[in-house]
Amino acid sequence: MTQELEQIEYRQGMLEKGMKPNTLPVKIWRRAKIPADVRAAISAESLLGLGGLYGDKKTGDPMEYDYLKLILTDGVILNIAPLWELVPWNEPKKYWEELQEGKYDWSHIAYQLWPERVKEACKKNRSIAIAHGAVDRNLRGMLL
């Protein structure tokens, strides 16, 4: 939803700068007025509260994040796994624990939280490297 708001605001700004509606790359959402309190309520920082310390417990390398980029190809369950404490559902906690263990190192969310661990996994497993775009086009060498 935050992405949609950003797109609306971007398009509205382009129109205000004089760009014609038919030259915009994507369909315009006309008359979209978003109150400031609504915008604040759905911002990543206030709604999700993802700021904090995450990291690999085994190697002890914490990383600080202000936000997480949610990628649809990871699936809903992996995207909400870091939010398991906020969700009234038991499944996300299970997936969060498995995510911490390295079971889903192919996911983009794992790379955001534990980049060093995932880079090591890419060196050992070519399919994980391909999922992260870490192999050159000829599948010869690693890019990470």
pLDDT at site 103 = 94
Q: Where are the domains of the chain?
A: 2-42, 53-131
Instruction: Map residue 75 onto helix, strand or coil.
Output: coil
CA gap 52, 82 in Å, rounded: 11
Flag whether the pTM goes above 0.75.
Answer: no
Please give the angle made by the CA atoms of 37, 40 and 41, to the nearest 5 degrees: 85
The span from the CA of 57 to the CA of 60, in Å, is 5
- Asked whether the CA dihedral 70, 71, 73, 74 is positive or negative, the reply is negative
Assess contact for 39 and 57: CB atoms under 8 A.
no
Mean pLDDT per block of 10 residues along the chain (144 residues) reads 60 63 44 50 45 49 58 87 84 93 92 87 87 69 56
